[in-house]
């Protein structure tokens, strides 16, 4: 696994692995018909947008690391009652 792929599959640096995998599985199941998977793509897009906003807020607040770890993200999601996307 190359460095880029390893970073994308790292749960601490990529909060949307689950959504990414779901969209890829949909593409595989629908014979790569993108119109069949638009809900999965939208969920992935919303996930990325949500965590990007968190990252930007942490940057403004001077919090390090910029992206919360997987454990911190679980706590954040539990505090708000689940995934908002």
Mapped to the 3 state alphabet, what secondary structure does 17-66 carry? HHHHHHHHHHHHHCCCCHHHHHHHHHHHHHHHHHHHHHHHHHHHHCCCCC
CA distance 5 to 51: 19
| pLDDT at 13 (0 to 100) | 86
- The domain segmentation of the chain, as residue ranges, is 3-79
pLDDT in tens, 13-66: 899 999 999 999 999 999 999 999 999 999 999 999 999 999 999 999 999 999
C-alpha angle with apex 11: 1 to 9, nearest 5 degrees? 25
């Amino acid at each position: 696994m190359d460095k880029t792929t390893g970073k994308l599959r790292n749960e601490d640096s990529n909060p949307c692995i689950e959504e990414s995998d779901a969209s890829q599985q949909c593409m595989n199941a629908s014979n790569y018909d993108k119109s069949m998977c638009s809900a999965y793509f939208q969920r992935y897009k919303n996930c990325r947008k949500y965590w990007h906003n968190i990252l930007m807020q942490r940057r403004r607040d001077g919090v390090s690391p910029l992206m919360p770890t997987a454990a911190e993200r679980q706590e954040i999601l539990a505090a708000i009652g689940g995934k908002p996307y």
